[in-house]
Chain A
Amino acid sequence: MRRFILIAVPYIWLLALFLVPFLIVFKIALSDTALARPPYLPQFDWATGLGAFLAELDFENFVFLTSDALYWKAYLSSLQIAVIATLITLLVGYPIAYAMTRAPEAWRPTLMMLIILPFWTSFLIRIYAWMGILSQEGFLNQFLLWTGVISAPLTILNTNVAVYIGIVYTYLPFMILPIYAALDRLDGSLIEAAEDLGCSRLSAFWLVTIPLSKNGIVAGSFLVFIPTLGEFVIPSLLGGSGTLMIGKVLWEEFFSNRDWPVAAAVAVVLLVILIVPIVLFQRNQQKQAEAEA
């Protein structure tokens, strides 16, 4: 009996607040927009029954998504931004993770904490901090003007460059930590062996270190890529009117246009796109767990 309660309580909670809401999104994606409260049709009605209700559902909203260029452009540009940002984060994060494993043993806990600490500080505040740095009269422009690198202030805020900076800044710890974990487990004698056998330090790095830290690279990349794809705060604060990201489109469809069925359809498609990287990520984690066991 106790076991039953132990299972039932979290189970029912998740069914009610995770799975059912999700089915509702799916249902509304198949509904029509209406000037009503709530603003969609059909409403389920016990009198007419399930058959009549189902008959009114259709894929019209999904057809609409393919016909309006805004949507598929937003999906494509989200994918593009997420891929490029993930690559930049990897290029920035790898040397940091690598240097951490080469640091004296006594420093490592402190270095780890310094990487994790920003993660605990508010995400919104960290993005906000960049608004003051990247604006026309911001610190970066002031600094560059002062050093004489540029003669007129650059426009960075409200462009995609600012979005990339924001993503790399926010998700850098997610990239560093799994790579650090993988590099930390790496047996140093393997690299010595490669060097003894005539590899230069660079080729030993390329042929031994990189392949052996592959799991960390893959895990870190997915941990950056997956949340970036549906990102809302970064494009809306740092991006401009030209920054198309699907999280922002969904938000505006819902809050500004009040078109709930289209917003729901946008969400369903986003989720379908996300299934591929999520499954790949899970598989990578499983492989890693098996390798350790």
Chain B
Amino acid sequence: MTRLSWFNVVSLTVGFAFLYIPILILVIYSFNESKLVTVWAGFSTKWYAELMQNEAFLNAAWVTVKVAVFSSTIATVLGTMAAYVLVRGGRFTGRTVFSGMVYAPLVMPEVITGLSLLLLFIGLNLDRGVLTIVLAHATFSMCYVSVVVSARLMTFDRALEEAALDLGASPFEAFRLVTLPIIAPSVIAGWLLAFSLSLDDLVIASFTSGPSATTLPIKIFSAVRLGVSPEINALSTIMIAIVTLGVITASLITKRNAVRQQRDQQLAERTS
């Protein structure tokens, strides 16, 4: 099945060109001298320098990172718990409602999630700011974490946990010493997913933030509405670079771990 016809080659080339050319143009024109984003006037890094002077953007970036770190950490803890309950928890009253609530936010339009949370915060008289965005982001991203973690929990061998319990571990010890190390890669993947969802979110943050806390996507959105600007290109390039580095590092680590695991397994087979 590994014969590429000319049609396959064309599909792949056109497909990847479609996916990557827009990003490439964006990156290239962030180094453009001219204020006009579509006319090339020579290489320059002045938009990056200007971006570093822009207090409003820097503040928004700081708020965004804070929100992402807190919300993704809460989401990871809650999402892992939810996954464990759904996969290993057995039966309990209200299980159907619970699993419905875990999966529903995945398909809920962001405008509805944002609107409903805002109405709750107003009902509670909670001042909108960093706290409310963290609560909102933690709620919708915990569902993504729980999907990622429960996929791993479902495939792993339950006998390992049972062995730990038979050998005298308490359920909590069995979880901490056996289950958690095994599902750790998926927990980390869940955290990264939650982190990037939070960094990226515009709609829910717009509903749940107040004047005291503006996140980067809100700032970018209001700037972009007025048209294309080289400063936003520079900012986008920085964000793309960070994400690309992160994803490549993560995939290299997973690859290295897989190789190591394979080697250990071979070693174990040889010595047994």
Contacts and interface: CB of A to CB of B under 8 A. Distances in A.
Interface of A: 2-3, 6-7, 9-11, 13-15, 17-22, 24-25, 28, 38, 92, 95-96, 98-105, 111, 113-118, 120-126, 128-133, 135, 137-139, 142, 169, 172, 188, 226-227, 229-233, 236-237, 247, 250-251, 254-255, 260, 263-264, 267, 270-271, 274, 278, 281
A162 to B, nearest CB: 12
A45 to B, nearest CB: 14
B160 interface: no
A234 B12 CA distance: 25
Contacts of A103: 2, 4, 8, 12
A271 B112 contact: yes
B102 interface: yes
B84 A6 contact: yes
B202 to A, nearest CB: 6
Contacts of A19: 101
Contact of A9 (B15, B22, B81, B244): B81
A274 B122 CA distance: 26
A160 B129 CA distance: 35
A24 B120 CA distance: 7
B94 A11 contact: yes
B153 interface: no
Contacts of A15: 101
Contacts, number: 222
A215 B33 CA distance: 50
Given A255-B206, A270-B111, 8 more contacts: A6-B84, A14-B102, A120-B243, A129-B23, A133-B25, A135-B38, A188-B1, A247-B110
Q: Is the interface of A mostly helix, strand, loop or mixed?
A: helix
Given A14-B102, A230-B112, A274-B109, A121 B240 contact: yes
Contact of B112 (A28, A113, A139, A270): A270
Contacts of A21: 116-117, 119-120
Contact of A229 (B98, B101, B109): B109
B225 A122 contact: no
A98 B4 CA distance: 10
Interface of B: 1-5, 7-9, 11-12, 15-16, 18-20, 22-23, 25-26, 29, 37-38, 78-79, 81-82, 84-85, 89, 92, 94, 98, 101-102, 104-105, 107-112, 115-117, 119-120, 122-123, 135-136, 139, 142, 171-172, 196, 199-200, 202-203, 206-207, 217, 220-221, 224-225, 227-228, 232, 236, 239-240, 243-244, 246-247, 251
Contacts of B16: 114
A205 B25 CA distance: 37
A7 B107 contact: no
Contacts of B7: 95, 99
Contact of A128 (B38, B84, B171, B236): B236
A115 B251 CA distance: 14
B126 to A, nearest CB: 12
Given A114-B19, A142-B38, A250-B115, A124 B200 contact: yes
A10 B11 contact: no
Q: Is the interface of B mostly helix, strand, loop or mixed?
A: helix
Given A18-B104, A233-B203, A6 B120 contact: no
B112 A128 contact: no
26 contacts: A9-B78, A21-B119, A24-B116, A24-B120, A25-B119, A28-B119, A95-B15, A99-B4, A99-B7, A99-B8, A104-B2, A113-B247, A115-B19, A118-B19, A121-B243, A124-B221, A132-B29, A132-B38, A132-B228, A137-B38, A230-B111, A232-B110, A233-B203, A250-B111, A251-B203, A281-B107
B256 to A, nearest CB: 14
Task: From B4, B120, B207, name the one whose CB has the most chain A CB atoms within 10 angstroms.
Answer: B120
Contacts of B119: 21, 24-25, 28, 260, 264
7 tightest Cβ-Cβ pairs between the two chains A and B: A230-B109, A21-B116, A99-B8, A95-B11, A96-B15, A129-B22, A21-B120
Contact of B139 (A7, A14, A226, A278): A14
A126 B11 contact: no
Contacts of B240: 121-122, 125
Contact of A122 (B3, B200, B207): B200
A120 B112 contact: no
A131 B226 CA distance: 11
A120 B247 contact: yes
Given A18-B104, A123-B200, A274-B107, A3 B112 contact: no
A90 B123 CA distance: 43
A114 B244 CA distance: 10
Contact of B123 (A24, A100, A113): A24
Task: From B3, B108, B227, B236, name the one whose CB has the most chain A CB atoms within 10 angstroms.
Answer: B108
Contact of B239 (A7, A121, A172, A271): A121
A172 B98 CA distance: 31
